[in-house]
Structure 1
Amino acid sequence: MSWTLKLKVDKRENAITYLPFSCENKGLKIRVNQKFIEKNDKPWLPIMGEFHFSRCDEDLWERELLKIKACNVDIVATYVLWIYHEEIENHFDWSGNKNLRKFVELCHKYNMFVFLRPGPWAHAECRNGGFPDWLLKKGCKLRTNDPTYLYYARRWYEQIALQIKGLYFKDGGPIIGIQLENELYDDKKHIKALKEIAQQLDMHVPIYTVTGWGANGGAKFPSGEVIPSFGGYPEAPWEQHTHELLPNPNFFFTDIRNDSSIGNDLFKKEGAGIKDNSKDTDYSDYPYITCELGGGNQKTYHRRPVINSDDVASMATIKLGCGCNLLGYYMFHGGKHSIGKLTTLQESKETGYPNDYPVISYDFQAPIGQYGQVRPHYHKLRNLHMFAHDFGETIAPMGVYFPDVLPANRYDTTTPRMAVRSDGKKGFVFFANHQRYPGIQDIPKIQVTIDLMDGEKIVIPSQPFDLPKGAYFFWPFNLDIGGITLESATVQPLCKVEDREKNKSTYFFKVCDGVNPEYVFKKDISGHVTCDTKGVNIEVRGNRTIISNIPLGIEYPLSFTAPETGKQILIYTLTQQQAESCWKAKLLNREVIIISESHNLRFEGNKIIVYGEKNHGSLVFYPKLDKSVHFNGHIIEQTASGRFCKVNFSFVQSKSRIEIKEQGFQTDLYDKYMFMDESERYCAKQYNISWDVTNLQELDDAILELEYIGDVIQAYYKGQILNDDFYDGVNTFQISVKKLEDRNLKLKISPLNKNKRIYIQQWPEFTSKLTCNITQAKVRPIFN
Structure 2
Amino acid sequence: MTSRWLERAGRPWLPITGEIHYHRLPRERWSEVLGKARAGGLDTVATYVMWQVHEPQPGEFCWDGDRDLRAFIQLAATHELDVLVRMGPWSHGEARYGGFPDWLVALGLPMRTNDPAYLDLVRTLYSETIAQLAGLTHGDRGPVVAVQIENELYDQPHHLATLRTIAEELGLHVPIWTATGWGGAQVPQTLLPVYSAYADGFWEDSATEWPEFAASHFRYSQVRDDLSVGKDLRETLDGIVLEPGAVPLRDDAALPFATCELGGGMHVAYHRRPLVRPDDVAALALAKIGSGSTWQGYYMYAGGTQRRGPNGTEQESHATGYPNDVPTRTYDFHAPIGEHGQVREHYHQLRRQHLWLQADGPAIATMQAVVGGGSEDPGELRWAVRADGERGYLFLSTYQPARRPLAAQAGVQLTIDFDDATITAPTRPIDIPAGVSMAWPLRYPLTESLTLRSATAQLVTRISDDDGEIVVVSASGGIPVELAFDGDVSVAGTGVTSIGGTAAGGTIVTVDTPGPEAVIELPGVRILVLDESTADRLYRLELGGRDRLVLSDAPIYTRDRELVLHTDSAVTLSFLPAPGALSSVEASVSGTGDHLGLWRRWRIEPQVAGRHRLLSDLTPAGWSVPELRRGGSMNRLSAPTDFSAAARVRVDVPDGLFEGADRVLVQVAWTGDIARAVVGADVVSDHFWHGRVWDIDVTAQRQQIREHGLVLEFLPWHAGAGIWVDPAVRDVPEGVVIDAVDLIQVARVGLAPMG
The TM-score normalised by the length of structure 1 is 0.88
Q: d(CA) in 2 for partners of 1:309 and 1:177?
A: 29
Which amino acid in structure 2 is aligned with residue 399 of structure 1?
Q
Task: Please give the alpha-carbon distance, in whole angstroms, between the structure 2 residues aligned to 1:628 and 1:241.
Answer: 53
Give 2:684's aligned residue: 722
Indicate which of 502, 520, 539 corresponds to 1:558.
520
Query: Per-residue displacement from partner, 1:238-258 (whole Å, max 9, x unpaired)?
Result: 012433114621111000011
Report the equivalent of 2:267: 298
* Whole-Å separation in 1 of the counterparts to 2:584 and 2:531: 29
Q: Which residue of 2 aligns with 1:41?
A: 10
State the Cα RMSD in Å.
2.5
- Cα 1:190–1:650 shift into 2, 3 Å: same
Structure 2 counterpart of 1:497: 463
Give the match for residue 50 of structure 2: 81
> What are the within-5 Å matches in structure 2 for residues 688-703 of structure 1?
688-692=650-654, 694=656, 696-703=658-665
Aligned residue runs from structure 1 range 347-386, under 5 A: 347-386=316-355
Given residue 204 of structure 1, which amino acid in structure 2 is its aligned partner? H
Which of 653, 669, 694 does residue 707 from structure 1 map onto? 669
Query: Could you tell me which amino acid in structure 2 is paired with residue 524 of structure 1?
Result: D
Q: Distance in 2 between matches of 1:676 and 1:542?
A: 66
Partners of 1:347 and 1:396 lie apart in 2 by: 37
Q: Within the alignment, does 1:684 sit opposite 2:646 as a pair?
A: yes
Map residues 570-609 of structure 1 onto 2, 5 A cutoff: 570-596=526-552, 598-609=553-564
Matched position secondary structure for 1:739: helix
| Match 1:425 to one of 387, 390, 393 | 390
SS at match of 1:609: strand
- The separation in 1 between residues aligned to 2:185 and 2:121, in whole angstroms, is 24
Which of 157, 162, 166 is the matching residue for 2:126?
Answer: 157
Report whether the alignment pairs 1:621 with 2:579. Answer: no
| Gap change, CA 1:169 and 1:287, over 3 Å in 2 | same
User: 1:415, CA displacement in angstroms?
Assistant: 0.5
8 A Cα contact 2:86 2:147, kept in partner: yes
In 2, the alpha carbon distance for the partners of 1:50 and 1:469 equals: 31
Question: Taking every aligned residue pair, what percent have the same amino acid on both sides?
Answer: 31
Letter of the 1:279 counterpart? P
Structure 1 unpaired stretches of 5+: 1-31, 562-567
Q: In structure 2, what is the equivalent of residue 9 of structure 1?
A: none
Shift of 1:459: 0.8
Do structure 1's residue 222 and structure 2's residue 188 form an aligned pair?
yes
2:413 counterpart residue number? 447
Larger mean Cα displacement after TM superposition, 372-381 or 621-630: 621-630
- Closer, same or farther in 2 for the Cα pair 1:659/1:624, shift >3 Å? closer
Distance 1:556 1:654, change over 3 A: closer
| Matched ranges for 1:41-190 at <5 A | 41-190=10-159
Structure 1 stretch displaced more, 435-444 or 193-202: 435-444
Tell me the TM-score normalized by structure 2. Answer: 0.91
Show structure 2 runs of 5+ residues with no match: 235-239, 632-636, 749-755
Distance 1:549 1:707, change over 3 A: closer
Structure 1 counterpart of 2:751: none
**Distance change (3 Å), C-alpha of 1:664 and 1:159:** farther
Q: Which residue of 2 aligns with 1:658?
A: 614
Match for 2:242: what amino acid?
E
Answering whether residue 695 of structure 2 is matched by residue 734 of structure 1, we say: yes
Tell me, yes or no, if the aligned pair for 1:624 and 1:640 is still in contact at 8 Å: no
How much has 1:644 moved relative to structure 2?
A: 2.3
Gap change, CA 1:392 and 1:763, over 3 Å in 2:
closer
Q: CA deviation at 1:384?
A: 0.4
CA distance in 2 between counterparts of 1:556 and 1:121 reads 52
> Which sits farther off after the overlay, 91-100 or 147-156?
91-100
**Structure 2 residue 225 is the aligned partner of structure 1 residue 258:** yes
Q: Tell me, yes or no, if the aligned pair for 1:529 and 1:559 is still in contact at 8 Å.
A: yes
Amino acid at match of 2:63: W
Per-residue CA distance 1:107-158 (angstroms, 9 max, x = gap): 1222210110110000100000111111112232110001111111111101
- Structure 1 residue 767, shift from structure 2 partner: 5.3
Alignment CA distance shift 1:722-1:570 (3 Å): same
Amino acid in the other structure paired with 2:446: I
Pairwise CA distance, 1:300? 0.9
SS at match of 1:435: coil
Do the aligned partners of 2:667 and 2:695 also contact (CA within 8 Å) in 1?
yes
Partners of 2:405 and 2:378 lie apart in 1 by 8
1:481 aligns with 2:446: yes
- Structure 1 CA distance for aligned equivalents of residues 557 and 254 of structure 2: 38
**How far 1:335 sits from its partner (Å)?**
0.5
User: Aligned equivalents of 1:672 and 1:714: distance in 2?
Assistant: 21
Q: What is the CA–CA distance in structure 1 between the aligned matches of 2:307 and 2:674, rounded to whole Å? A: 18
- 1:240-255 residue pairs with structure 2 within 5 A? 240-245=205-210, 246=212, 248-255=215-222
Aligned partners of 2:495 and 2:529 also within 8 Å: no
Partner of 1:387: 356
Report the 3-state secondary structure (helix = DSSP H, G, I; strand = E; otherwise coil) of the residue aligned with 1:724: strand
| Post-superposition offset of 1:533 | 6.1
Answer whether contact 1:606 1:630 (CA < 8 A) is retained: no
Residues 625-651 of structure 1, C-alpha deviation per residue, up to 9 Å, x if partnerless?
256577853211123535322112211
* 2:165 is the alignment partner of 1:210: no
Contact map agreement 1:254 1:322 (CA 8 A) in 2: yes
- C-alpha change, 1:505 and 1:712, in structure 2 (3 Å) is same
In structure 2, the partner of 1:4 is: none
Q: Give 3-state SS (helix, strand or coil) of 1:523's partner.
A: coil
Q: Distance in 1 between matches of 2:532 and 2:32?
A: 27
Matched, 1:635 2:589: yes
Match of 2:713 in 1: 748
Task: Tell me the CA shift for residue 693 of structure 1.
Answer: 6.2
Whole-Å Cα distance in 2 between the matches of residues 628 and 657 of structure 1? Answer: 33
CA distance in 2, matches of 1:335, 1:419: 36
Tell me which residue corresponds to 2:738: 774
Letter in 1 for 2:275: V
For residues 644 and 353 of structure 2, the distance between their equivalents in structure 1, rounded to whole angstroms, comes to 50
Q: Which letter maps to 1:602? A: Y
AA at the equivalent of 1:601: I
Q: Evaluate the alpha carbon distance shift between residue 688 and residue 679 of structure 1 in structure 2; reply closer, same or farther with a 3 A threshold.
A: closer
2:542 corresponds to which letter in structure 1? K
Residue 282 of structure 1: CA displacement?
Answer: 5.0
Distance 2:582 2:694 in 1: 40
Alignment-derived partner of residue 8 in structure 1: none
The CA distance in 2 between the partners of 1:230 and 1:752, in whole Å, is 36
Cα deviations by residue, 1:147-193 (Å, 9 ceiling, x for unpaired): 11111111110111122211111112111110000001111110111
Q: Paired residues, what number?
A: 722
CA displacement at 1:264 relative to structure 2: 0.6
One of 257, 272, 278 as aligned partner of 1:309: 278
Determine helix, strand or coil for the equivalent of 2:721. Answer: coil
CA change 1:422–1:764 in 2 (3 A) is closer
The alpha carbon displacement at 1:698 in A equals 2.7
Change over 3 Å in CA distance of 1:778–1:200 after alignment to 2: same
Structure-2 separation of matches of 1:186 and 1:679: 36
Call closer, same or farther: CA 1:310–1:608 in 2, change over 3 Å. Answer: same
**Paired AA for residue 521 in structure 1:** F
Alignment partner for residue 549 of structure 1, among 497, 501, 511?
511
SS in 2 for 1:691: coil
**Cα 1:136/1:321, change in 2 over 3 Å:** same
| Secondary structure class of the residue paired with 1:266 | helix
Whether the aligned pair in 2 keeps the contact of 1:654 and 1:696 (CA below 8 Å) is no
